[in-house]
Structure 1
Amino acid sequence: MSGPLSSLKILDFSTLLPGPFASLLLADMGAEVLRIESPTRPDLVRVLPPHDGEVSAAHAYLNRNKRSIALDLKRPEAIEVVRQLLIDHDIVLEQFRPGVMERLGLGYEALRAINPRLIYVSITGYGQTGPYKDRAGHDINYLALSGLAAQTGRKDSGPLPLGVQVADVAGGSFHAVMGLLAAVIQRQQTGEGQYIDISMTDCSFTLHAMGGSAYLACGEEPSMESQALNGGSFYDYYRTRDGRWLSVGSLEPQFMQQLCAALGRPELAARGLSPRPEDQRALKRELQVAFELRDFDEWCELFAGLDACVEPMLSLSEAVEHPQLKARELVVEVPREGGDGQRQIACPIKFSDGIPAPRHIGAKVGAHTVDVLRELGYDDERIAGLKAGKVIG
């Protein structure tokens, strides 16, 4: 089985999370991804704890199914290797600050002169233009500047540091994959590649799908606990008697009626359907009292038989064992060298024709350097010279 993206060959210069997550999705769907890594400055995710044996669990997951070649890009001989690879690899993914690839001689204009079909994707915090283009940042900064953090949290305690990297993944990774595949489709029609500028802040800003549209069209500024879906209504989390939590999303009348009947308070349904803020606040107080009358397991058993949009808040270990996620086969065993496989999160995209089984966890730095150079026609003597000159690792 080759996968729907088996025709794509990608040079991946990215590190950390956004670029590697994007190329993970592409590799899972069959694309051939070759990581270009420094032999002296390793991707920091490689040392990120916890470790499974000697391997960072995060690195092993984010870089599965990819090959690795170690090149010192400050050396002309390494740049020549990249230029040769471009004859066959016609997609580049990079995540340096603006101007870095140009200074290395690997910018879009220089590389498209070698291969006009080149699709070149740059992921940065703020994009290639604007006053912040050279500024450092992390996920929390992009969420803050894009306005998302201002409507996520509680009025009395402020914004929440989220447990997942929304700007990096939903912003950078997903939009990079979408842009890349759109460019591939256009190239099939025109024969020409193009440059794609992905800003994690830009893409986070577009996640204001509902609150942003309301503000721009009507001037209604979203803030914490001011909207139906961010804590401004009964749509929220509720603590049980034993300190666990349930999610309640019973927005539609039929779900609200089932919720209130299950709580033994059918008369509350009318408040749930009222748009008046005072009714919503009153209902929330009633729900808080009601849910604290029973333990978590009791509520789970009760709502398991109802279609009321009430579900338990699970820990990750509980989610892994949940029958729905198990039925969807969201955990997969991935081979690794010299040992048992490693359990990882599976590709979530389901194709009727299937995708290739995972081939291996993230590889060591330069694990495939010699293989790649031999594929380019380098003989053993020339490879030994590159090693001696510390061009490759």
Structure 2
Amino acid sequence: MLGPLASLKVLDFSTLLPGPFASLLLADMGAEVLRIESPTRMDLLRVLPPHDHGVSASHAYLNRNKRSLALDLKQPEALEVIKQLLADYDIVLEQFRPGVMERLGLGYEALKAIDPRLIYVSITGYGQTGPYKDRAGHDINYLALAGLASYTGRADSGPLPLGMQVADVAGGSLHGVIGLLAAVIARQQTGVGQHLDVSMTDCAFSLNAMAGAGYLACGVEPDREDQMLNGGSFYDYYRSRDGRWLSVGSLEPDFMKQLCTALGLEELSALGLSPQPAQQKKLKEALKTEFEKHDFAELCSLFAELDACVEPVLSLGEAVRHPQIKARELVTEVPRGDGSTQPQMACPLKFSDGLPEPRHIGASLGQHTDQVLAELGFSAQRIEELRAAKVVS
């Protein structure tokens, strides 16, 4: 089985999370992804704990199904290797700050002159233009500048560090894949490629969705705990007697009726639709009181039989063992290369024709250097010369 993207061949110059998560999705769907890695400046993801069999679990996951070519892009011979690769690979994914690839002789215009069909995807924090284009940043900064952090969290304690990288993944990775595949479709129609400028801040800004639409059209500035979905209504998390949490999203009348009936609060079910803050506060306090009368297991058992949009907050370990996650086969075994396998999160996309089985965990640095160069026609002697000159490793 080859996968729906088996015709795509991608040179991946990215590191850390946004680019690698994007190319992971592409590789899982069958694309051939070749990582171009510096032999002198290690991808820090390789040393991020925890480690399994001496390998970063995050790196092993985010870079599965990809080959690794260790190439020093600052050396002139490296540019010739890239030019030869472009005869076969017609998609480039890079994550350097604006201008870096140009200084290396690998900018879009330079490579487009070699192959007009080239699709070139640049993922950065702030984009290729604007006053912040050269500024350093991380996920928390992009969420802050995009306005998202202003109405998340609690009114008395401020925004929360979310624990997962929304701007990196939902912004850079997913939007990068969407844009890349759109450019592929356009190339099928026109015969030419294009440069895709993906800013994680831009994409995070678009995630404002309903709140952003309300502000731009109506001037309604959202604040913490003053919107229906950010803690300003009963839609929230509730603590059990033994200190666990459950999520309540019973927005529709039927769901609210089941919730209130289960907790002996039938007379309050009509408050769920009330736009009045005082009514929402009354309902929320009543729910809080009732949830705190019961242990977590009791509440889970109670709501398991109801269609009330109430679900427990699970640890990762509990999520892995949950029957829904297991039924959807969201954990897969990936070969390590030594005959054993590593459990990893599976590709979440379900195709009726299926996807190819995972081939291997993230490769060691330069694991496929000799193989790739041999495919390009380099002799064993020339490969050794390049290695001696520290162009490759």
| TM-score (normalised: structure 2) | 1.00
Counterpart residue number, 1:275: 275
2:383 matched residue in structure 1: 383
1:127 aligns with 2:127: yes
1:260 aligns to 2:260 (yes or no): yes
Opposite residue 141 of structure 2, the aligned amino acid is: N
3-state DSSP of counterpart to 1:131: coil
How many angstroms does 1:390 deviate by?
Answer: 0.6
Q: Tell me, in whole angstroms, the C-alpha distance in 1 between the residues paired with 2:344 and 2:329.
A: 11
Give the letter aligned to residue 378 of structure 1: F
Q: Which residue identity is paired with 1:329?
A: E
SS in 2 for 1:97: coil
Cα offset, 1:386, TM superposition: 0.3
Amino acid at match of 2:322: H
DSSP-derived class of the 1:93 partner: strand
Q: Find the counterpart in structure 2 of residue 72 from structure 1.
A: 72
Note the alpha carbon deviations across 1:271-329, whole angstroms, 9 max, x for none.
Answer: 11211111001110111001000000000001000000000000000000000000000
In 2, Cα distance between the equivalents of 1:300 and 1:373?
A: 57
Q: Which deviations, in whole Å up to 9, do the C-alpha atoms of 1:96-143 show, x marking residues without a partner?
A: 000000000000000011111000000000000000000000000000
For the residue of structure 2 that corresponds to 1:258, the secondary structure is helix
Distance 1:272 1:315 in 2: 28
Letter in 2 for 1:292: E
1:179-209 per-residue CA deviation (whole Å, 9 max, x = no partner) reads: 0000000000000000000000000000011
- Which residue type is aligned with residue 71 of structure 2? L
Q: Please give the alpha-carbon distance, in whole angstroms, between the structure 1 residues aligned to 2:171 and 2:46.
A: 23
Unaligned runs of 5+ in 1: none
SS in 2 for 1:158: coil
List aligned pairs for 1:361-376, cutoff 5 A. Answer: 361-376=361-376
d(CA) in 2 for partners of 1:222, 1:177: 30
Aligned partner letter, 1:198: V
Aligned position for 2:314: 314
Q: Distance in 2 between matches of 1:71 and 1:302?
A: 58
Q: Distance in 2 between matches of 1:151 and 1:30?
A: 39
Match of 1:332 in 2: 332
Q: Percent identity?
A: 76
Alignment of 1:1-393 (within 5 A): 1-393=1-393
What residue identity is the alignment partner of 2:231? G
Please give the alpha-carbon distance, in whole angstroms, between the structure 2 residues aligned to 1:164 and 1:208.
17
SS in 2 for 1:154: coil
* Counterparts of 2:21 and 2:185, CA distance in 1: 21
Provide the C-alpha distance between the structure 1 equivalents of 2:353 and 2:269, rounded to a whole number of angstroms: 46
Q: Distance in 2 between matches of 1:19 and 1:377?
A: 29
Q: Taking structure 1 as the reference length, what is the TM-score of the superposition?
A: 1.00
CA distance in 2, matches of 1:256, 1:274: 12
- Alpha-carbon distance in 1 for matches of 2:388, 2:290: 72
Q: Which amino acid aligns with 2:25?
A: L
Aligned letter for 2:89? H
Aligned residues: 393
Task: Write the distance in 2 (CA, Å) between the matches of 1:45 and 1:250.
Answer: 40
Superposition CA RMSD, Å: 0.5
Query: 1:337 offset after TM fit, Å?
Result: 1.4
Runs of 4+ with >3 A deviation: none
Aligned-partner SS, 1:210 = helix
Deviations 1:133-192 (A, max 9, x none): 000000000000000001110000110000100000000000000000000000000000
Letter in structure 2 aligned against 1:379: S
Distance apart, 1:339 and its partner CA: 4.1
Q: CA deviation digits over 1:188-235, x for unaligned, max 9?
A: 000000000000000000001100000000000011111100000000
Output the CA distance in 2 between the equivalents of 1:363 and 1:245: 39
Describe the SS at the equivalent of 2:114: coil
Question: Equivalents in 2 of 1:380, 1:302: separation in Å?
Answer: 68
Please, which runs of 5 or more residues in structure 2 have no aligned partner?
none
Deviation, structure 1 residue 332: 0.2
Matched residues in 2 for 1:211 and 1:297: separation? 35
Q: What are the Cα deviations for residues 31-54 of structure 1, in whole angstroms up to 9, with x where unaligned?
A: 000000001111000000000021
Q: Alignment partner of 1:122: what SS?
A: strand
Report the Cα distance in structure 2 between the residues aligned to 1:306 and 1:43, rounded to whole angstroms.
Answer: 47
- 1:338 positional shift: 1.3
